[in-house]
Amino acid sequence: MLYELYYKIMYTLNSPTFLRGFFDNRFYLILLVIILLRFKYTTYSSMWMSALVNIPGTVLHELMHFSVGLFLNAHPCNFTIIPRRSEDGNYVMGSVGFRNITFYNAVPSAMAPLLLLPIGFYLNRYFLPLLPPTFVNYVLYVLLQTIIIENAMPSRADFKVAGMYWSGIIIYGFIFLSLLVM
C-alpha cells in the first residue's frame, strides 16, 4: 500500500504537465528557497544542528579563502569548520587565519567567497540542462544553488580584513572599474 502511494506521488510529481507548470512558475522557486532558508534558520537554536545544516556551505566558503590566500602568498593557517561561540554571543561556523596579510592579498583573500558565484552560474548554465527534468532533481538543484549563493556572500569579518589596507582597496577598485568599462 505504501509502495503504491509512493509510486502515485512520484508519478504525479514527475508528470510532464506538473513539471512544466512547476518549472515555469518562479513563485514555486521563491517559495522553495524560502522554505529551505526557514528550515536552516530554525536550526540556529542549537549550535550543532546549525553546524550540521551549514557545513557544506561553510566548507565552500572557507575553501575559497584558503585557496586564494594560498595562491596570493597570504600563508593560510588555522583552517577550521568546527563551530564556536564568539565573544559577542554569535556562532562562528568556520574560519581561516592568515599569517601574511598585505596590501596586495588582503582584498582578494577576504572577498574570495565571491568566486562561488561564477561556479553557481556555471552549474545553472551547463549542468542543470543535463539533468533529467524530475521534481527531486529540481529540489536538489535549488538546494545546491541556495547553498552556493548564500555562502558566496562575504561575512562581516571578511569585510574587516579587506578594509585593512587602503592601498589594496584603491588598486582592486581601480581594476574592478577598469573591467566594468571595457
The answer as to whether 50 is a domain residue is: yes
Cα 152 versus chain centre, distance: 5
pLDDT of 64 reads: 96
Q: In terms of Cα–Cα distance, which of 52, 114, 56 is closest to 83?
A: 52
The answer as to whether 11 is a domain residue is: no
The answer as to whether 58 is a domain residue is: yes
CA-to-CA separations, 171 to 104, 108, 165, 175, in angstroms, rounded: 8, 11, 10, 6
Total domains, the chain:
1
Strands (E), 89-141: 91-92, 95-98
The answer as to whether 108 is a domain residue is: yes
The answer as to whether 12 is a domain residue is: no
Ranges of residues in the chain with a pLDDT under 70 are 44-45, 47
pLDDT of 81 reads: 86
Question: What's the domain range around 121?
Answer: 27-181
d(CA 121, CA 57): 16
pLDDT of 138 reads: 84
d(CA 103, CA 101): 7
The answer as to whether 21 is a domain residue is: no
Q: Residue 54 is which amino acid?
A: N
pLDDT of 65 reads: 96
The answer as to whether 2 is a domain residue is: no
Q: What pTM did the predictor assign?
A: 0.80
The answer as to whether 137 is a domain residue is: yes
CB 81 within 8 A of CB 93: yes
pLDDT of 44 reads: 67
According to DSSP, the residues that pair with 76 across neighbouring strands are 98
Give me 178's grid cell.
577598469
Contacts of 38 (CB under 8 A, 6+ apart): none
